[in-house]
Structure 1
Amino acid sequence: MHRTENGSKFYMPSLYDILKLTKTETIYAKSNPGSPRKETLPCSDGPSPPPGGGDAPPVPKCACRVTDETKSASNRGKTGAGVTGSRTGRICERRKEPALPAGATNPGLLRHIHNAARYRLPQCFEGACVSLKQSAQNNWVLGHSMSFSSVTPGGYKVLLSYVDKSKPIGLPYFVMEAAPGGQMSCEIRVGPSQGTRATVVAQMADGQLYSFESILDAYFNNFTMSIIGVNREFIALHYLQAVTDQISLGAEVVARGQASELSSLSAAARWSGDKHSVSATLGNRGLDVCYARDIKPYLTVSSMLEVGFTIRRAVATLAYEWHTPAWTVRGSVDSDGLVGATLQRALGGNNAQLACAVSALLNHPNDKFRLGFGVTGSIV
């Protein structure tokens, strides 16, 4: 089954998603086998909350954040179940995992254990957006984005990124997004060694540091480890072991300094095959179960169940993905009455540098409907 990496920690525009990295022959972890599907996500407005997932503390109010009423069908984590970092608002990036020795059975990162199912969720958005990426030969990319929306902050944004295309892993890596209003997001990733990745993500708003997180990932032949620190609020330790080629087991420990009673311990497991994946996380805060299966070469369905023990709430979600080399359709419906769908299509053929995206989101309980349209172009 195709599974795509979901490690993006914060909102980035579609210019960031169409950033092309050089193709190399390498061994990828199970959570990122290098899916050949091409797609372009719509623009986003403002940075997203830190990737604390269900275990993250409440995020302070900020004008650059998307309001709760406009959240997408893909914004899960309502119950507090799952592991830290697994609840990103958008899946906007395909990270390259380090090359491993031949015969290695690496399970990928624990925070990406549910990617096979969650990647099928539509990335809904509202309003209109036009984006343009200009790529230079010196590894720098300059992007421009103009968004229009009646419910979320819009306007002009600029994106500056750097990636070393001459290296198979594309490191060092740097990306910065800035808006005239003073909002700015910055991510820096380096590889201290062949099997390690160090990432720092910072977000600024209203002239002050809004969010800061640091992540260290270590890849070994048959297991991975991660250390995640967010806003001096908590630190999370991840471990995921490949027991066999199909079975992986892991655990997470979240320690808090100021609110020790909110510290948590979770266990995780995944059983994956060529056409299916079953993953689950269970801890003192909740239960999260995900299932994904390839029905046809072009059709994948998934289901997700989240149960929060502390808030006594459960949410079930069904999703599907219908894809071809030229377009991708995703749809989902959950037990909260949220129905969403997106259509992403390349214009002018498979190798075109122009793409469009259409989004629709219906909230039955609130009787609200959101429609979005985005166009992304690339100048190489």
Structure 2
Amino acid sequence: MGSVDACIEQPERKNISNCNSNLPCTHCPAGKGPGNPGCLEEIHKKVKDLYPRNFEGAKLIVKKSLSQHFNVTHSIIFSSVTPSGYRFGTRYIGTKRVGHLEKYPVICGEIVPNGNLTATLMHTLGCRYRLKLAAQVANQEYKAISSTLEYRSNNSTMSLTLANPSILKQHGTLVLHYLQAITSRMTLGAEMACQRGSTIPGHQQTIMSLAFRYSTGRKTLSTTVGEAGVHVCFHMKASHQFQIGVEIETNFRTHESEAAIVYQMDLPHSDLIFRGLVNSESTVSAVIEKKLHPFVDSALQISGLYNHKKEQFRIGVGLNVG
């Protein structure tokens, strides 16, 4: 069963103003301040967005807008790797505006014929507080549930996440994020995650890490360092048509490291987007997306992946309509 991603893309830096009960929530006008740095979960977002979304087999996705705020999605997937079959998804976007790009509330969901369901609710409390609820139901049981409360000031973001809580058993995961914009180019942050459970040594574990990001616009360097390992990403926009990213991740516990080079090439005259990947696990993959005219928001996708070490080759063809 597929997962539900964020339904709206949020800009990396925002300025947020105080609410006025008579006016819609809007961002502060551009000033000398560094601006809001976004959330810590998206500190490596520029590199992650370049990764090709590989798939195997065939898929057909048909999206239908029933109104300005509500649309439905029909998906048919045939694959020997991922679960095949039919999926039905919905998305609702409300009328409350925060800035120029964000609208709330946002409700997303996807269900399969056997009853497995994933759903996400995002809403804003005033202009500075955001609430996110996510749940996954499988085999008539809650498999995962999480709630996040986020506060955004003019130059910082703080969020608190509680995942899979069990009050009676005193199990669950608590994550605290803080991200501070020092200047318009430099951002510092910290993360503290506390997990309790019977399968954890000592029944409790706390992990702390620090985050750093330096961005000039065309180039961005982001790093997270903690007890579990080091994660470094570098993104560069070489031109309007070509972007490249490098990612290196080291795990101190397993003593393993992995590196990857990802890139994206946009050919607007041909309505073609090409994303590629080469990593240290001897994997080479790519996804080609060709827009289909005169159909609006329709595209043909071709995915290919080959792992030289495991000698595995996977290919997929997909069609998005609407």
Take 1:216 and 1:159, find their aligned partners in 2: how far apart are those partners? 25
Structure 2 segments unaligned to the other structure (5+ residues): 15-24, 166-171
1:129-179 superposed Cα distances (whole Å, 9 cap, x missing partner): 111111122622122111111222111111122112574522111111111
Q: Shift of residue 257 of structure 1?
A: 2.3
Equivalent pair of 2:4/2:120 in contact (CA under 8 Å): no
1:306 to 232, 249, 252: 249
Equivalent pair of 1:28/1:99 in contact (CA under 8 Å): no
1:348 to 293, 296, 300: 293
- Secondary structure of 2:13 counterpart: coil
**Counterpart mapping for 1:11-90 below 5 A:** 11-12=3-4, 28-30=11-13
Take 1:11 and 1:157, find their aligned partners in 2: how far apart are those partners? 11
TM-score in terms of structure 2 length: 0.85
Q: Shift of residue 327 of structure 1?
A: 2.2
Q: Which has the higher contact order (CA 8 A, sep 6+)?
A: 1
Take 2:221 and 2:127, find their aligned partners in 1: how far apart are those partners? 30
Take 1:99 and 1:123, find their aligned partners in 2: how far apart are those partners? 34
Take 1:210 and 1:293, find their aligned partners in 2: how far apart are those partners? 39
Confirm whether residue 274 of structure 1 aligns to residue 217 of structure 2.
yes
Take 2:215 and 2:106, find their aligned partners in 1: how far apart are those partners? 31
Take 1:342 and 1:28, find their aligned partners in 2: how far apart are those partners? 25
Identity score, percent: 28
- Secondary structure of 2:114 counterpart: coil
Confirm whether residue 219 of structure 1 aligns to residue 152 of structure 2.
yes
Equivalent pair of 2:224/2:230 in contact (CA under 8 Å): yes
What is the aligned partner in structure 2 of residue 79 from structure 1?
A: none
Q: Shift of residue 29 of structure 1?
A: 3.4
Residues 145/165 of structure 1: CA separation in 2 closer, same or farther (3 Å cut): farther
Take 1:194 and 1:355, find their aligned partners in 2: how far apart are those partners? 36
The number of residues matched between the two structures is 294
What is the aligned partner in structure 2 of residue 245 from structure 1?
A: 184
1:170 to 103, 106, 110: 103
- Secondary structure of 1:239 counterpart: strand
Take 1:356 and 1:170, find their aligned partners in 2: how far apart are those partners? 29
Confirm whether residue 321 of structure 1 aligns to residue 313 of structure 2.
no
Take 1:198 and 1:315, find their aligned partners in 2: how far apart are those partners? 34
Q: Shift of residue 294 of structure 1?
A: 1.2
What is the aligned partner in structure 2 of residue 4 from structure 1?
A: none
TM-score in terms of structure 1 length: 0.73
Take 1:362 and 1:158, find their aligned partners in 2: how far apart are those partners? 30
Superposition RMSD in Å: 2.3
Take 1:29 and 1:361, find their aligned partners in 2: how far apart are those partners? 30
What is the aligned partner in structure 2 of residue 46 from structure 1?
A: none
Equivalent pair of 1:360/1:369 in contact (CA under 8 Å): yes
1:324-353 superposed Cα distances (whole Å, 9 cap, x missing partner): 34221111111111211111121116x723
Take 1:106 and 1:345, find their aligned partners in 2: how far apart are those partners? 35
Structure 1 segments unaligned to the other structure (5+ residues): 1-9, 22-26, 32-97
The structure with the largest alpha-carbon Rg is 2
Take 2:205 and 2:283, find their aligned partners in 1: how far apart are those partners? 29
1:372 to 304, 309, 316: 316
- Secondary structure of 1:117 counterpart: helix
